[in-house]
Structure 1
Amino acid sequence: MPNHTVLSVSQLNRYIKSLFEQNLQLKDVFIRGEISNFKGQYASGHFYFTLKDKDASVKVVMFRNYASHVRFTPENGMTVLVRGEVGVYDRDGVYQIYCREMQPDGIGDLSLAFEQLKKKLSEEGLFDSAHKKPIPPFPQVIGIITAKTGAALQDMLNILRRRYPSVVVLVRSVLVQGEKSAADLCAAVRQMDELGLCDLLIIGRGGGSLEDLWSFNDEALACEIFRCRTPIISAVGHEVDFTICDFVADLRAPTPSAAAELAVPDKKDLQFQLFSYERQMAQKIESRIQVLETQFGRHKRIHDSLSMRLSALQTKLEGYQNHQALRSPYYTVEQAQARIEEQAARLNALMPVRLEREEARLGKAAGILDSLSPFKVMARGFSVVTMKGKTISSAGQIKAGDRVTIRLTDGTVPAQILQGGKESE
């Protein structure tokens, strides 16, 4: 092979690399593919992965200065669009894509980053309702974190003055978009909370594109709001706009103007409530007065009745005080003794007459009783026959062999019946 030029491996790789570099079409290519073998955990900050479809694959490298601008987290299996330059890594002799830009296929990189951060913070519990602080019903001092030149601030101030003129408003002017805005918002939330002067904070801005509102999707800002001890209302963009700030705040308002309305009560409503309370109080007082008047009337009638009874008792007591017995008890005792002696004399006079009368009545009754006594009859020769305690008054009541008792005037004689008797016809 003396007539052929012999190249080293390095020379060959450098030659092929130069061919790639001279091809202008390979300087700026767009490629769609699925990520695999993703390695983005190096301290250098570079991304290394493979981009593939169903038939082929190609290696991709994305250096840190480009990778730092990727807003979402690349994952294996994700279909992406990459933009970059096709070149040769001459050490290994392989070609690869040097990626400058990358975005999800079919969805914007910001939208994907939003969904990824939303899922991450939700899993960490930053959106849980248990951590939400109640909004004070009557805040005395409200802090507003927004751009001082924005129309949103003027709208909120006008509404707060109209609805609740007594509230004090402290404004912390911040950047609401741009590279430094997220850090400025974090510092504002931390400063306003540490001051401890505000009962409530409102953080927000007017409407804009997703890019304009992106500072309110910052993870550090979400953590700062979560740690804030002062209740916070999020008021970012329009009603259709949602940010991470909305989910982690204690209350989400669809617009800055709505936040001002949610932050304070309307003085007209308060005046109406006070009027209603005043009317209810007057009705209750009137009703209470009527009840007390009724009770007073009842108590007065009782008092009058007791007064009459007391007056009667006093009159009676005066009568007792004037009674002879109370004025001279010895006189009363003498009168009672005289009545007792009079009654005793009458009793002594009537007693013999009464005894004589009763003795006569007793003698007459004894004579009648004696004439009816069975013993008088038996004294004339009659007797009484009994059997087993029962008086025998008929011959048919006994038969031969019966044992009977015969009662005579001076005693009883047992006897036995020898022959049954017959009743006389």
Structure 2
Amino acid sequence: MTIHSVYEVTTIIKSTLTSSIALQNLFVQGEISNFSRPASGHLYFSLKDDKARLRVVMFAGSARYLQFLPSDGMRVIVRGSLDVFEKSGDYQLYAKEMQPDGIGALYLAFEQVKERLQKAGWFEADRKKAIPAFPKTIALITSGTGAAVRDMITTLNRRYPLATVRVVPVAVQGDEAPKQIAAAIDLVDRHLLADVMIVGRGGGSFEELFAFNTEIVATAIEKATIPVISAVGHETDTTISDFVADLRAPTPTAAAEIVSPDQTQLFAHILDAMQKLTSIVNRQNEQRQRTLERLINTPFFQEPMRLISRYHEYLDRQEVQMRDILRAQLYRRQKSLSFTETRLAKTNPYSRLMLIKSQLKNWEERLEKAKNQVVQSKEKHLVQRIDQLSLLNPLSVMQRGYAIVYNHANRAVISQHQLHPGEQIRVELVDGWLDCQVWGVYEREGREHDV
């Protein structure tokens, strides 16, 4: 009897599953449940039907090629291989490809991208940029060899040869088409290579037009600062780029007609404008001619000296009035000056100055006398204060033979009750001190207090 470990049994099952060719390229049909997509980008879910359930793992490297977003309840067909996850002992399907069951993956991806961008507001009319009426440079982002580019160039040369046409050739179908179209839009916009750009191609199947339904192309159109016209397929074809672009044209040829004014209509418009301008100039010239003739017939132009003589007379009268006014003002000023001279003669400035000088001298003398009195009074008061302070000064008292006694706590002794025999004291004199010891303490009657 052979006894196996759990790991050995799991390894045998794993080897059996992986060695079976039939189990390494399975196509499994079922309904998605327990779908999850962590930050790693891997997909984890189960496929179920009414009888069984199978765990499925799709790693990020395979998941990034999906053209739709899986979700719970969606029926799909998955291609992959069976294997065992040793740690849990579960067998599961490792998916390589996945597509919707019963609906095309491309159409489902189209609907999902359309719904997501519509919720983001990319289809709103207020985000659309105006198409220039007279563009100087037009960029065509399309296939460089298709009929669409030839039709657009022919239409532009016929209708508006003044514009410069720049063709940016790209793949319009296949796996590389979305990246090339988005890069071309970014190139034209970043380097300002045109005033407007047409992005499109000729007709084709839904799959052939799908490059214009991808989110990378829609993002490039949305970010462009230059207006974009989408012209994909025929009038019945509708793509994501049609919704995001600033303007949708039913066909590439129609886009060329929209972006280019017809030179025949331009010439007719210019001719009509020139005729209107000529008519306006002629009317203005006629009006000015009539005005000039009317002025020539006026008295000023007929007899200009009469008008000048009238102004001469007016100036003469003004001159006489000005002279009279000046004489009157001069008379009033002379009279005022005479009155002022009379008042000054009555009031001699020199006498007033002498009087003021005498008053100032008198005030100076009185001020000096008052100052001396105040100083003497203050000096006398200061001497009195100094004498009073001298009486209170301990040094003055000590100069008469007195001393100050301090106990061991450095406090002045004023009574014999503060001391005890044998206690150290300090006697402060006027010019120094003495360290002493108390030999005895006595009352004033002369009897010893404490031995």
TM-score, structure 2 length as denominator? 0.58
Q: Which secondary structure state, in structure 2, belongs to the residue aligned with residue 160 of structure 1? A: helix
Aligned equivalents of 1:12, 1:273: Cα separation in 2: 90
Say if 2:222 and 2:245, in contact at 8 Å, map to a contact too: yes
Aligned equivalents of 2:179, 2:21: Cα separation in 1: 41
1:12 and 2:47 aligned: no
Say if 1:84 and 1:98, in contact at 8 Å, map to a contact too: yes
Say if 2:198 and 2:229, in contact at 8 Å, map to a contact too: yes
Say if 2:30 and 2:47, in contact at 8 Å, map to a contact too: yes
Corresponding residue to 1:193 among 163, 186, 189: 189
Say if 2:110 and 2:214, in contact at 8 Å, map to a contact too: no
Say if 1:13 and 1:91, in contact at 8 Å, map to a contact too: no
Which structure 1 segments of 5+ residues have no match?
308-425
- The offset of 1:22, in angstroms, is 4.9
1:104 and 2:100 aligned: yes
Say if 1:222 and 1:244, in contact at 8 Å, map to a contact too: yes
Aligned equivalents of 2:250, 2:81: Cα separation in 1: 44
Say if 1:143 and 1:192, in contact at 8 Å, map to a contact too: yes
Q: Deviations over 1:288-312 (max 9, x none)?
A: 69x979xx79x99xx99x99xxxxx
- The offset of 1:276, in angstroms, is 5.2
Aligned equivalents of 2:28, 2:227: Cα separation in 1: 47
Aligned to 1:29: 26
Letter of the 1:171 counterpart = V
Q: Which secondary structure state, in structure 2, belongs to the residue aligned with residue 239 of structure 1? A: coil
Q: Deviations over 1:80-134 (max 9, x none)?
A: 1212223333442322222221111221112111111111111112111101011
- The offset of 1:285, in angstroms, is 8.2
Aligned to 2:253: 257
Q: Deviations over 1:23-63 (max 9, x none)?
A: 544333332222122122242x3211111234432111112
- The offset of 1:247, in angstroms, is 1.3
- The offset of 1:141, in angstroms, is 1.4
Q: Which secondary structure state, in structure 2, belongs to the residue aligned with residue 86 of structure 1? A: strand
Aligned to 2:319: none
Aligned to 2:316: none
Q: Which secondary structure state, in structure 1, belongs to the residue aligned with residue 235 of structure 2? A: coil
Letter of the 2:5 counterpart = S
Aligned equivalents of 2:266, 2:277: Cα separation in 1: 16
- The offset of 1:140, in angstroms, is 1.7
1:234 and 2:239 aligned: no
Q: Deviations over 1:192-246 (max 9, x none)?
A: 1233342211112223333433332332332222121111111222323322222
Report which stretch shifted further, 205-214 or 142-151.
Answer: 205-214
Letter of the 1:14 counterpart = T
1:215 and 2:211 aligned: yes
Q: Which secondary structure state, in structure 1, belongs to the residue aligned with residue 241 of structure 2? A: helix
TM-score, structure 1 length as denominator? 0.62
Q: Which secondary structure state, in structure 2, belongs to the residue aligned with residue 71 of structure 1? A: coil
Letter of the 1:170 counterpart = R
Aligned equivalents of 1:181, 1:90: Cα separation in 2: 42
Aligned equivalents of 1:26, 1:221: Cα separation in 2: 39
Aligned equivalents of 1:222, 1:252: Cα separation in 2: 13
1:121 and 2:152 aligned: no
Identity level (%): 45
| Higher Rg of the two aligned structures | 1
